Chain A
Amino acid sequence: MSDTSPKNGFNVVGTSPIRPDGLDKVTGRAQFADDFHLPNMLHGKILRSPHAHARILSIDTSAAEALPGVRAVVTGADFPAVRHELLNQGTAGVLNIREMSENCMAKDKVLYDGHALAAVAADNPHDAELAVNLIKVEYELLPPVMNVRAAMADDAPVIHEDFHPGGFIAPTEKYLPNASRLQLGNGDPEQGFAEADLVLEREYTAETIHQGYIESHVTTVTWDSNDYVTVWTATQGQFALRDHLADIIQVPISNINVVPLEIGGGFGGKERLYIDPVAAFLSKKSQCPVKIAMRRDEVFRATGPSSGTYIKLKFGVKQDGTLTAAHLHMAYEAGAYAGGPLFLGVMSATSRYNIPNIHIDGFDVIVNKPTMRPYRAPGAPQALFAVEQMIDELACELGMDPIEFRMKNLMRSGDRLVPGFPLAPIDTEKMMETVKAHPHYQAPLEGANRGRGLAYSIWFNIGEISSARMQVNPDGSVTLATASPDLSGTRISLAMQAAETLGIDVEQVSPTVSDTQSIGFSLPSVGSRTTYSTGAVVCEVAQEILKQMCERAVLLWETDAGQVSVENGVFSNKAEPGQTITFNELAARMFETGGPISHHRTGHTQSFIPGTAAHLVDVEVDPETGKVDILRYTVFQDVGKAVHPDYVEGQMQGAAVQGIGMALNEEYFYDDEGRLKNASLLDYRLPTSLDVPMLETVVLESPNPAHPFGVRGCGEISIAPPPAAIANAIYDAVGVRLYSMPMAPRKVCAAVKAAEPAKAA
């Protein structure tokens, strides 16, 4: 048997080659979904509810249908009735197809401002828009329910007469008319609080936020005369989209091909369909391809943002800094339908500290907002905003250094996580020691109204199902296809893992992302899984390719199986010292040794791979205006192994910037009627390049045993610590705690003012 195991020293992994898609993206040549056109293609536009909560009494589309240039009109009546069918998606949980369908096109009720209820396909976008505005709808207005506390109140209007508890990863149980519940715990909290020397209780809130990807949702769909449906779109998961679409439009899965195009940002928000079934039915009716492109305001109003929350904490600690007990009440918005990021919020809330007695009471709460969808480390920023502030407040009260306090309670590999299983191997102590020794932590911070804050996080990366197909070509080049859309440079990071395993140059490997007809099933590019999970499968495929090539060399050299070994792309014959052949030479002779060399594999990798991150930030607060400026920011992150260090740093910085945005300014702003008032990039205040300094990065590498090179995944975790780190820095700067996110200037200013009399006294 040939020796194809990976070496300790890397040739490709750990370098930073230029990504194959980079130049075309910066020059505008890359084909995004809106660049895609077909002959006879029509343009679809969607009529959306201006009301947050209303019953649809009637929809009159006659004027729209009469408009010249209009080829098809659809409403909820064109969507087949589907049962509350739960589609099993492995660890992604179970999904309710009926609710997914009604989220794409309302039938009886509209549940949020922006809920789709009719659509038109016309010869051009202009006519389609005119026609949409001719559709008349009669509504019976119902009272809107706009936040979790209102939805859980005794007299809350009921949004669904009957709802099915959310199934995002972990099931919940129906608990209130608008809420389902998830409880986890360990030990005896009552006893734990009795043992505590200090008990703090605090309440924290957060507003609804959006991923803010720059590319809006765009899809082009054809439904042909054989009921074959083809979708060209930007998606994080072509297979998830295919399977959901099949259930909604009721054609066999095998009739659907989803072709993923370049994606302009997803961050969790592009793993679900919104407009694809609408375009499909418009195409079926018009017998033409139909493209739908969402406007920015539609993206904000009607895709899948992340939850506003209400979190109430009670923590107990001994004088020596040992945490004894915690109670967490965590209510997350689900939006219009159940199934928000509650479980991941619960999972990430305290999973880095050992708290012997703990009870977490989680609520998935239905409100009249769009259905919440994952956003980069879903649920974690809101949870950490609460818990990491509480940790800082406890440390301050005890007069302990925030790192010493965390060290005292630090969870290490093997310690029991709240859901019951042990923390997988990772060096958590080294993370803390690295922060403590870093020049940023050691540097004095001088000047009025300046402060420093720290937050620490463990996040769990997903593994599960990935597919890869590799083919060696006679010229020595290697074609690598996967089913994992490239959100962040994963084509190059996968090609690098292939090249490392094969012992060839990365330039020899051409990585592509395949459509659903051309490769095996894969879970979407979510959960920081692509470089880790798909990477592990790519390595397995590469190992198989090497094995096949060794067999070819055996044939060529007429030697015994097991006599051929390969190292750094050179095959050699143990039986005949000096007899070698390079990868390229052997590839050139494939047709005299048995034909093409290729392999396809659908593999499975372990989930809940931990990653750690600590963020350290210095801020300056203008107490007169409430504005917070970030002076210095360092992201420490354990990524297992940085396959492509430049892009890993980019992930760390990009995630931190999004966390900074939600910390300081991002929020959905609804009026009293439940209408979204800031559905634009002008008024939904994403950070600009002028709002963040250069973010320093410190990459730690404690290997993940579940991956051949030790990769953990790195895309999500660093979005979680910024809100808490900044809150702790604001406290250090001006002595006030901000319990409400975003920590917008108006709130900082009010908190400073409120503290003034106390200070003077």
Chain B
Amino acid sequence: MKDFQYLAPRRLDEAAALMAEHAGSAQLLAGGTDLLIFMRNGRKSPEVVIDAKKIPELTRLQLDAGRLTIGAAVSCRTVWEHPEIIEKFPALADAATLIGGIQIQGRATFGGNLCNAAPSADTVPPVIVYGATAHIASARGERQAPVEEICTGPGLTSLAPDEILVSLSIPAPQANSGAAFLRFIPRNEMDIAVANAAARVDLDETGETISAARIAIGAVAPVPLYVEAAGAALAGKPVNDGSIASAARIARDASTPINDMRGTVEHRKQLVEVLTARALRRACDRARGEKIQ
């Protein structure tokens, strides 16, 4: 590990000024569960590490009139220990509980997971299907972007070198809405997704017809992938095996996985179809009021 300077600003404007000053040579540190490993193995060698965890806007977790705001440095554990969030946004808990063990969950953050931009990031497909907006700040001002536009490639984001992800905000879910996230790993814990999938469905008042749906898949493309067409195909369709299967097929066809130590192209395509279908079924069950942990 190379020597580096550690800075811990306490205000957002101060952090933005530091990011501008050290743009290109600075890394924001949230939980550090990726960054510290990259610094140890030489994949990243920042000259300046700016700690995000002392900035109020980045550590806020707020549920306001149903709208959820997750500060970029809020830990996964904090999110899934919030009973109201788990009830209203179960797919977030699905993902947050799967990441690491208790110690890692206490460090790892939704914001860090998004900015690390791993194709396999477990918290990203759920926030995509919930329609989250990313709030971004820099010394040049503030902007917003749909969360599915943040990751642009493995380890790459649309954030400029001086920009800071402040928070993710998720609109209040509609009535008769449900979501779920599933991932496949060869073991039962402590692993990186071979493939994952998140689904959200809004049912009509009968609970038999899908009025809208969003599907996102992971570890099967250069980025966590929002498959708009798979959701669109479900609009107006009845909740049944046939419509779920065709949406899952679209998700499969949208995937462009690679062969690596964690999985093969063939297996990942198979898995993403299976996981999408299973996540959709679970999302429908939740939309109908079933409690599924």
By a CB distance below 8 angstroms, the chain B residues around A669 are 261
By a CB distance below 8 angstroms, the chain A residues around B260 are 677
Q: Contact partner of B261 among A678, A688, A753, CB < 8 A?
A: A678
Stretch among A77-85, A445-453, A608-616, A623-631 lining the B interface: A623-631
- A753 to B273, alpha carbons, bound, how many Å? 14
Can you name the residue of chain B whose Cβ is closest to the Cβ of A133?
Answer: B42
- A691 to B189, alpha carbons, bound, how many Å? 8
By a CB distance below 8 angstroms, the chain B residues around A688 are 187-190
- A689 to B1, alpha carbons, bound, how many Å? 32
By a CB distance below 8 angstroms, the chain A residues around B32 are none
Q: Which of B189-216 contact A (CB under 8 A)?
A: 189-192, 194
Can you name the residue of chain A whose Cβ is closest to the Cβ of B195?
Answer: A625
Total contacting residues, chain A, CB less than 8 A = 26
9 A-B residue contacts at CB 8 Å? A625-B184, A669-B261, A677-B261, A683-B262, A688-B188, A691-B188, A745-B186, A745-B194, A749-B270
Any A CB within 8 A of the CB of B264: yes
Can you name the residue of chain B whose Cβ is closest to the Cβ of A129?
Answer: B1
Any B CB within 8 A of the CB of A665: yes
- A81 to B139, alpha carbons, bound, how many Å? 63
Give the size category of B's interface with A: 20 to 34
By a CB distance below 8 angstroms, the chain B residues around A126 are 1
Any A CB within 8 A of the CB of B274: yes
Q: Contact partner of A746 among B1, B187, B266, CB < 8 A?
A: B266
Any A CB within 8 A of the CB of B263: yes
Pairwise interchain contact B262-A625, C-beta atoms closer than 8 A: no
Any A CB within 8 A of the CB of B267: yes
Any B CB within 8 A of the CB of A690: yes
- A297 to B42, alpha carbons, bound, how many Å? 13
- A682 to B186, alpha carbons, bound, how many Å? 12
Any A CB within 8 A of the CB of B271: yes
Pairwise interchain contact A624-B188, C-beta atoms closer than 8 A: no
Can you name the residue of chain B whose Cβ is closest to the Cβ of A668?
Answer: B261
Can you name the residue of chain B whose Cβ is closest to the Cβ of A688?
Answer: B189
Pairwise interchain contact A683-B186, C-beta atoms closer than 8 A: no
- A165 to B192, alpha carbons, bound, how many Å? 41
Pairwise interchain contact A749-B267, C-beta atoms closer than 8 A: yes
Q: Which of B115-143 contact A (CB under 8 A)?
A: none
- A1 to B266, alpha carbons, bound, how many Å? 77
Contacts A665-B186, A688-B188; A624 near B270 (Cβ below 8 A)? yes
Can you name the residue of chain A whose Cβ is closest to the Cβ of B261?
Answer: A669
Pairwise interchain contact B190-A682, C-beta atoms closer than 8 A: yes
Least distance between B258 CB and chain A CB atoms (Å): 12
Least distance between A80 CB and chain B CB atoms (Å): 33
Pairwise interchain contact A685-B191, C-beta atoms closer than 8 A: yes
> Interface residues, chain A, CB within 8 Å of chain B?
126, 129-130, 297, 624-627, 664-665, 669, 677-678, 682-683, 685, 687-688, 690-691, 744-746, 749-750, 753
Pairwise interchain contact B1-A625, C-beta atoms closer than 8 A: no
> Interface residues, chain B, CB within 8 Å of chain A?
1-2, 41, 184, 186-192, 194, 260-264, 266-267, 270-271, 274
By a CB distance below 8 angstroms, the chain A residues around B261 are 669, 677-678, 683
- A141 to B260, alpha carbons, bound, how many Å? 24
Least distance between A42 CB and chain B CB atoms (Å): 19
Pairwise interchain contact B187-A690, C-beta atoms closer than 8 A: yes
By a CB distance below 8 angstroms, the chain A residues around B270 are 624-625, 749, 753
Can you name the residue of chain A whose Cβ is closest to the Cβ of B270?
Answer: A749
Pairwise interchain contact B192-A683, C-beta atoms closer than 8 A: yes
- A297 to B41, alpha carbons, bound, how many Å? 10
Least distance between A123 CB and chain B CB atoms (Å): 15
Contacts A678-B261, A683-B262; A626 near B267 (Cβ below 8 A)? yes
By a CB distance below 8 angstroms, the chain A residues around B184 are 625, 627, 745
Pairwise interchain contact B187-A685, C-beta atoms closer than 8 A: yes
By a CB distance below 8 angstroms, the chain B residues around A685 are 186-187, 191
- A691 to B194, alpha carbons, bound, how many Å? 17
Top-5 shortest CB links A-B: A746-B267, A669-B261, A690-B188, A677-B261, A678-B261
- A688 to B138, alpha carbons, bound, how many Å? 43
- A677 to B260, alpha carbons, bound, how many Å? 9
Can you name the residue of chain A whose Cβ is closest to the Cβ of B260?
Answer: A677
- A64 to B260, alpha carbons, bound, how many Å? 35
Least distance between B197 CB and chain A CB atoms (Å): 12
Pairwise interchain contact B186-A664, C-beta atoms closer than 8 A: yes
By a CB distance below 8 angstroms, the chain A residues around B187 are 665, 685, 687-688, 690-691
Can you name the residue of chain A whose Cβ is closest to the Cβ of B262?
Answer: A683
By a CB distance below 8 angstroms, the chain B residues around A665 are 186-187
Least distance between B282 CB and chain A CB atoms (Å): 15
Pairwise interchain contact B186-A750, C-beta atoms closer than 8 A: no
By a CB distance below 8 angstroms, the chain B residues around A130 are 2
Most chain B beta-carbon contacts within 10 A, residue among A625, A687, A744, A749: A625
Can you name the residue of chain B whose Cβ is closest to the Cβ of A624?
Answer: B274
Least distance between B127 CB and chain A CB atoms (Å): 23
Least distance between A489 CB and chain B CB atoms (Å): 27
Least distance between A176 CB and chain B CB atoms (Å): 30
Contacts A677-B261, A683-B262, A746-B264; A625 near B274 (Cβ below 8 A)? yes
By a CB distance below 8 angstroms, the chain A residues around B189 are 688, 690-691
